[in-house]
Structure 1
Amino acid sequence: MIKNIVFDFGNVIMNYNPDEILNHYELNRQEHDLLRKTIFESKEWSEIDAGKIDEKQATNIFINRVPDNLKKKVNQIMETWPENIDFYEPVFNYIEQLRKDGYRIYGLSNIGMKFANFVKDSEMGNYFDGYVFSAQEKLMKPDRRIYEKLLARYMLKSEESLYIDDLKANTNAAKKLGMQVFTFKIDKLGELQDYIASH
């Protein structure tokens, strides 16, 4: 029986799409493409999630890689991008219902601390009973140790916990630890609801 429901963030509770994030800034096509490659497709972006560098260090690296006219824009994007993410309202409405039904809700995400803190400090933070973030733990999914941290920290039984992620490699890793899993895309919300209702 499921008692705990653990959500990944990117493409589960929100639409993580660098192009759509960059559309919020005044950029021509060339600038848009350059900043997508420089920031979101860089190795440093993954290193932020892994906790190897922080956002401030990464910002300085990115600023040094762009022409002078884009340096301020890099700074602006790195400061404000979490505000320009589209969150999936139907998913949050469903989480609210799950909480009312007595489920415990957790977040487990490969994410940097700027975005993690943005979620925790916003109204969305009220939806969760706890979190494990890769940057804080310096561990990345699908490393089994990050799932074990979540289970141990909140004293969760793996067989009573459902893990929801958009990437099969991540749900497979959770499954190996005895967790129930669901590989999610937003158009599968109805399937997820049916799965939880029947377990």
Structure 2
Amino acid sequence: MIDAIIFDFGDVFINLDKQKIDSEFRKLGLTEWHADLDALNKQYELGKIDELTYMQGFQKHIPNADLVSIRSAWNSILADFPLYRLEFLQMIASKYRLFLLSNTDHTHIEKFEHNEGLTFARDFYSCFEKVYFSYEIHLRKPEEDAFKFVINNHNLNPKKTLFIDDKKENTDVAKKLGLLVWNLEVGKEDVVDLFSKKFSF
């Protein structure tokens, strides 16, 4: 019997537009995602560097772009957050222990709260017993320690805990740690389909 659910954020609740961010950066002159940009992004998601350092790191690859344009391009990945998903979450919040575990950064969270409004964001956060953003806890998926951090902090029983994420590398690690997992297929499945899945609720 499941009594706790750990959710991812991007492409589970808020839709992401990966084509948009790609096209926006191409407009600024970035032809490909470099390995050092990947490393830079991980540093930012872990809260090890601040926003200015992150944007300046991008600027090294697109020197003709100003920092405001780079920040705008970075935030262009954030699409809509359908209200029905929040309503679904509110419906189940009193029945299960809910947690959010997201690889994200300060810039994206600030933009989400601005786009949707603080009331919407507050309503969303209040559904969870605890919200964990990678840049705040300095841990990110698929590191085992990120999952153990949540499990140990709340004395969760992995066998009674469901983890929902759109990235297989994340659900694979969670499964290895004994959690039940749903590797949600973006575009084919929606988090509100949860109870049509073959889990023991």
* TM-score after normalising by structure 2: 0.76
- Equivalent residues of 2:9, 2:101 under 8 A apart: yes
Q: Tell me the SS of whatever aligns to 2:174.
A: helix
- Give the corresponding residue for 1:54: 50
Q: Tell me the SS of whatever aligns to 2:5.
A: strand
Alpha-carbon distance between aligned partners in 2 of 1:110 and 1:89, rounded to the nearest angstrom? 22
Question: Which protein is richer in helix relative to its size?
Answer: 1
Instruction: Flag the 1:89–1:35 CA change in 2: closer, same or farther, 3 A.
Output: farther
The Cα shift of 1:117 comes to 5.8
| Count of aligned pairs between the two proteins | 190
The Cα shift of 1:95 comes to 1.0
Could you give the per-residue CA deviations for residues 91-127 of structure 1, whole angstroms, max 9, x where no partner exists? 3222111114x11211011112343466686232222
Instruction: Flag the 1:197–1:158 CA change in 2: closer, same or farther, 3 A.
Output: closer
Gaps of 5+ in 1: none
Could you give the per-residue CA deviations for residues 145-174 of structure 1, whole angstroms, max 9, x where no partner exists? 111100111222212211000112211211
- Give the corresponding residue for 1:126: 126
Alpha-carbon distance between aligned partners in 2 of 1:71 and 1:147, rounded to the nearest angstrom? 34
- Give the corresponding residue for 1:143: 143
- Give the corresponding residue for 2:196: 194
The Cα shift of 1:67 comes to 4.3
Q: Tell me the SS of whatever aligns to 2:181.
A: strand
Opposite residue 45 of structure 1, the aligned amino acid is N
Instruction: Flag the 1:157–1:69 CA change in 2: closer, same or farther, 3 A.
Output: closer
Alpha-carbon distance between aligned partners in 2 of 1:194 and 1:109, rounded to the nearest angstrom? 24
Opposite residue 145 of structure 1, the aligned amino acid is D
- Give the corresponding residue for 2:13: 13
Alpha-carbon distance between aligned partners in 2 of 1:33 and 1:193, rounded to the nearest angstrom? 45
Percent identity of paired positions between Structure 1 and Structure 2? 25
Q: Tell me the SS of whatever aligns to 1:170.
A: helix
Counterparts of 1:19-98 in structure 2, within 5 Å, are: 19-20=19-20, 31=27, 34=30, 37=33, 42-68=38-64, 70-77=66-73, 81=75, 84-98=78-92
Alpha-carbon distance between aligned partners in 2 of 1:30 and 1:42, rounded to the nearest angstrom? 16
- Equivalent residues of 1:164, 1:184 under 8 A apart: yes
Instruction: Flag the 1:84–1:35 CA change in 2: closer, same or farther, 3 A.
Output: farther
* TM-score after normalising by structure 1: 0.76
Gaps of 5+ in 2: none
- Give the corresponding residue for 2:99: 106
Alpha-carbon distance between aligned partners in 2 of 1:33 and 1:18, rounded to the nearest angstrom? 17
Matching of residue 174 in structure 1 with residue 174 in structure 2: yes
